[in-house]
Amino acid sequence: MTVPKDVRTHYEKLKATVNRYRTLYHVYDKEEISQEALDSLKHELTGLEAKYPELIAPDSPSQRVGGKPLPGFKKIRHTVAQWSFNDAFSSDELREFDARVKRFLKSAGESARPTYVCELKIDGLKIVFTYEKGILKTAATRGDGVVGEDVTQNIKTIESVPLVLSRPIDIVVEGEVWMSSKNLESLNKAQEKAGKPLYANPRNVAAGSIRQLDPAVAASRKLDVFIYDVAQTSEKMPLTQSEELDYLRELGFKVNPNHVVAKNIAEAVDFWEKWKGKGRHQEYWIDGIVVKVNERELQEKLGYTGKAPRFTIAFKFPAEQVTTTVEDIVLQVGRTGVLTPVAHLKPVSVAGSIVSRATLHNEDEIKRLDVRIGDTVILQKAGDVIPDIVRTLTELRTGKEREFKWPAYVEECGGDGRIERVPGTAAWRCVNKNSFAVIRRRFHNFVGKHALDIEGFGPATVDQLLEKGLVQHYDELFTLTEGDLLTLEGFADISAKKLVASIQKAHRVEFARLLVGLSVPQVGEETAILLADKFRTIDALAKATEVELSEINGIGPVVAKDVVEWFAEKRHQTLVARLKEVLTIVAPAKVPVAKKKLEGKTFVLTGSLETMSRDEAKAKIRRLGGDVSGSVSKKTSYVVAGEEAGSKLDKARSLGVTILTEQKFLDVLKNY
């Protein structure tokens, strides 16, 4: 198949980029982009090679294992070649691995069906251990798969590495050196105190510690190890991988207890599902599972490709960082008329969901990222964080990329479509503040989750009501009947009755939620709660001065100015008056001083909780006088980490902020 010129050009740039970041990571322990982003680039490269095999060159990352050893260490030639594993990023890719295994065995005349051993993939540094007559002789890094670095003296400082085995045998084993999250936290506190940079993850610390010339440094890091494979032994080799793990434990090696035998590939997927949300929630970090054919006889028949065993695959957890392509950049009109540039992306799976859009925030952010249409970018989605472009890989540019030109007018703004830059900010907005696009966004916000939270009232229903002229003002929502709704596409008797019931239920609304629904500039959920707690009624807030507002902790002069100006407009005064006719606005409950046990404490929530929703958790904290923030800083008292917690958890660790599991959080609430 002839390779198109643009594909070959992109492949060469992609190959050079992967090689560069791979060398930095494996040889020099420098992580300029995350391992997840690097995996994503490698996955794209191997995909191109699969489609165009003639592209494959000797210097392709797909043809190599590990990296060259650093100068300054004694070199060790491995007695058994060290392989890397192929990766799977989805259950479909794992099932394809299973199908390949079975096809290969069938072609080799083997009728037996394999079972699989599933083990945790430890996020650490691979080490090869050689024992002679039961005594540790050498420990070496993987290096380039043929030659590694002699790190024996540093490895001997790890308490879980046996210096003498239970039997005087000759054996070569492989394992992963790792650092616990607790030790990483302690190390970063010491680094911060000394004014030194913090470590991003335990893998980097483990690698750096093992490569220290002074073993005392390695000893101080309190590293640990799991052994998972026998490369060679003077005794009879166990018949299965599961028996091999038992054999290692019997000899005195530390083996991770979390492994299972799967009768089929579906059970392997189940094991992956069980662990995918726990990557950083035990003392050692994991970034996936390793699936191996259990039967050694079948392993030997399957053999190896040029770089990896055919009988093993690493099934990675959903990446929080991936690479993708920017296909377009469009402007979205928000509820206050502010224009937000949004990148339309080549769809990609990140953190377990398919993403095709990411906000670029504002004009300044586009310039900072230097992002263009056609660029390859690193996309991040950690825990509950919305997709965000964190870096542009400019080295992959071909010259066909197009800069985004900020327009002079935007059709959705209505009228002549003119736009203006908001003074003192990086934001642009519609000059016409009452275009249909802006009104529609305001209505979406008014009925949405953080405002009146009217169940069943989605954006499509709002749009139909506005387009048909059935509502023009918020209060008219509360006069809608079942008959009105039946004129809309998609509504029948039952669905119309349910929505009317939801609307009637929303007649009684908390003051803070109403403030969010009014689309006052700068007033989001947290600011609305501060204003509601201080002024308690909408009439009192409407009379507030900029000075009074600025005196509230957490309210700055910009917010104060916007709030005063909003309530000063005649049309907004009319809007509030109309809403007071149809709504019962509930003031926040007064918390007795004796019950404000969490006063002065700031909480940040990340991940999902099992016993309550995020909003319920926030309400419990506030009832006890505590504050809730959306970002982690040195002023944060606690970070509550639920399942699939994201980057906020990492930042909390780096800053030494106290982290609470859900159970510990419940204990805090109970104790207070």
Binding-site residues for Zn(2+): 413, 430
Q: DSSP letter at 80?
A: S
Q: Which residues contact 437 (CB under 8 A, 6 or more apart)?
A: 333, 412, 413, 414, 430
**Burial of residue 589 (number of CB atoms within 10 Å: 0-12, 13-18, 19+):** exposed
Q: Which residues contact 142 (CB under 8 A, 6 or more apart)?
A: 65, 66, 82, 126, 127, 128, 148
* Long-range contacts of 635-639, Cβ-Cβ distance < 8 Å, separation of 24 or more: 635/602, 636/602, 636/603, 636/604, 637/600, 637/601, 637/602, 637/603, 638/601, 638/602, 638/603, 638/604, 638/665, 638/668, 639/603, 639/604, 639/605, 639/606
Q: Is 236 one of the catalytic residues?
A: no
Rounded to 10 degrees, what is the CA torsion of 145, 151, 157, 163? Answer: 70
Catalytic residue, chosen from 15, 42, 121, 651, is 121
Nearest CA-CA partner of 376 in 118, 44, 21, 35: 44
Pair 450, 525: CB distance under 8 Å: yes
Three-state DSSP state, 486: helix
Rounded to 10 degrees, what is the CA torsion of 59, 64, 66, 69? Answer: -50
Pair 348, 318: CB distance under 8 Å: no
Note the maximum CA span of the chain: 90
From the centroid of its chain, how far is CA 620?
26
Pair 380, 367: CB distance under 8 Å: no
Binding-site members are 84-85, 119, 142, 176, 292, 316, 413, 430
Q: Is the dihedral of CA 352, 355, 359, 360 positive or negative?
A: positive
Q: What positions carry a catalytic annotation?
A: 121
